Chains A and B, each alone.
Chain A
Amino acid sequence: MSHWLPLVIYLAIGPIAGGLLAGWDRRISARMQSRRGPPILQPFYDVLKLCQKQNLVVRRGQNFYVLFFLLLVIFTGGLFFAGSDLLLVIFALTLAAVFFVLGAYTASSPYSFIGAERELIQMMAYEPMILLTAIGMYMVTKSFSVHDIAAHGTLLVLALPGIFLGFVYALEIKFRKSPFDLSSSHHAHQELVRGITTEFSGRALAMIEVAHWYENVFLLGWVYLFFAAWPLLGVAASLLVFGFVIFVDNVFARLKWRATIRGAWAVALALGFGNILALSLLHHW
């Protein structure tokens, strides 16, 4: 029974927590720029409004893909919080992102095309590190199951410091934060006319927002996994990582796509693969 509790909590509280995190993000960003910033509940107001707007589409198919994006993101997080196989979770996460990209491609507009292509590049950039994270966790706990990893007695981050840092690097990309907000930026609404989300309006845009909330909660859940042996430390670490991501977002300018890929792969190789190499050497020694 306790197996299902995290899943139910995720499905029910996920969007609320995600929305609050997004509101917190906007507030903190504003404070960092010495502005007052919007209320914490602002993301909810936005989504509420978007739901009441007219739904303009270029092709009807585009909203269908966005619906699948939302469902698959919820499914990904659901698998994760139900304690399922980590590799399956990664597979579902990738599939969700692919549906988002397909949606943008369906709405044939040059802006959403560029956004979709950049989203693909971002996926190529973070995917190796995410996979290495799963492998690293397997090497320590001898299991891919999230349930077993969470139940493991030791702090994973002690054995996987490189992988943890690499994962935080990948999170920057996954959260669509500077310096890796290539496909669609939270702040620059006028560059490439909002990238991948350009052609979505009304309810479809609201669905994308809610999908991002779910996704963010799921990703922070993964950060928690590194500290699962000490739950309080885990929660604190997740929030700290989120705060760090916001900080980096406000400090850095955007990178070009080549630099993004090179940087992400270099980090995956040095920190991710290096960590795994060290682990296996220590093991055999």
Chain B
Amino acid sequence: MAGFKKSPWIIHYDASSCNGCDIETLACLTPLFDVERLGVVNTGNPKHADIFVVTGAVNEQSKSVIRNLYEQMPEPKVVVAVGACASTGGIFRQCYNICGGVDCVIPVDVYVPGCAARPEAIIDGVVRAVGVLEERHRAMAQIGDRIDQTQYLRAEKSDAPQILALQYVAYQPDAQVYGEANVPPLQQTLEELERDFERMVFVKAEVNGRLIGSARGCANRQAAELSRVMVHPYFQGRGIGHLLLTKIELAFPGVQSLQIVIGNKSEQNLRWLQRQGYQAVQTEPSTPATTTVHLHKECK
């Protein structure tokens, strides 16, 4: 459909630059360049935006703001890093408070070079971003159309990279609640995940060969400990989580009870698990920043 190509709405955020790229981005709106003729609207509201334009290197303070803005944008969305600083950290790269380019916080789709990036280059970046946006929308729509054909299968070690990528996307809301450093799924490396395959059972939800959900669990004598039941944010609320949970529960036929441990501030997940028949049995502090809730379900 023509919609995405003809109406890219932009939100732009200045992470911590010299404001050079920032001003050039606004220059695109002036009569000389007039990006509105391409349907571009500079919204200032993440909930209305399709393209997230970030200028400047990312420092410790802007990190959470960028993640927050990104999380508030509805799918499908694209990120454009404008200028040398936003792409790599630029001349601020070695500063004590700089963690690098925008891609150290959120996935970036288009990099616009320049210091400061010229308006022509920025417009070119936005046009490329529109291409990515369309592509992404098409892929999402294709999967969305076949959501009833989702397959729930055992995952193999070769699925690990896909599971890790999904994990990174699915646990972003938790990073906002607990802080990125306190969310173990976001800290896990590919090697660790691959090692997990030796002691845990993994299941996956797959459409058209693309992974949109996953869960894992390991047997512990009479009980099975389930963890990381996750669904891609775009496909949540369609019952995929429920079927994943059922599938992983069935993977442990001999056990007497099932256990899940989650953070106490994840209220939505807590309510969801209670609807699935789990009961909170105890709460205990796990790290200084987080308290965990232990949930329990008897097997018939």
Contact = CB atoms under 8 A, between A and B. Distances in A.
A189 B29 CA distance: 13
Contacts of B7: 42, 45-46, 48-49
A161 to B, nearest CB: 38
Interface string A77-93: 00000000000000000
B144 to A, nearest CB: 10
Interface string B16-34: 0000000000000001001
A42 B39 contact: yes
A2 interface: no
Contacts of A205: 48
A49 B48 contact: no
A190 B14 CA distance: 14
A39 B6 CA distance: 10
A189 B141 CA distance: 29
A189 B43 contact: yes
B45 A198 contact: yes
Interface in A216-242: none
A189 B42 CA distance: 7
Given A52-B3, A53-B75, A199 B37 contact: no
A143 B3 CA distance: 46
Contact of A52 (B31, B37, B137): B137
Contacts, number: 88
Nearest to A53: B74
Contacts of B47: 56, 198-201
B74 A33 contact: no
A42 to B, nearest CB: 6
A53 B44 contact: no
A205 B46 CA distance: 13
B41 interface: yes
Given A35-B31, A52-B1, A54-B74, A45 B39 contact: yes
B72 interface: yes
Contact of A38 (B2, B36, B137): B36
Given A54-B234, A189-B43, A45 B48 contact: no
Interface residues of B, number: 28
A244 to B, nearest CB: 23
Nearest to B234: A54
A194 interface: yes
Contacts of A190: 42-44
A45 B37 contact: no
Given A189-B43, A194-B45, A53 B50 contact: yes
Interface of A: 26, 30, 33-39, 42, 45-46, 48-56, 189-190, 193-194, 197-202, 205
29 contacts: A30-B34, A30-B37, A33-B31, A34-B31, A35-B34, A36-B34, A37-B34, A38-B37, A39-B37, A39-B39, A46-B7, A48-B2, A48-B7, A49-B50, A52-B1, A52-B4, A52-B141, A53-B74, A53-B76, A54-B74, A54-B76, A54-B234, A56-B74, A189-B42, A189-B43, A194-B45, A197-B48, A201-B48, A205-B48
Interface of B: 1-4, 6-7, 9, 31, 34, 36-39, 41-45, 47-48, 50, 72, 74-76, 137, 141, 234
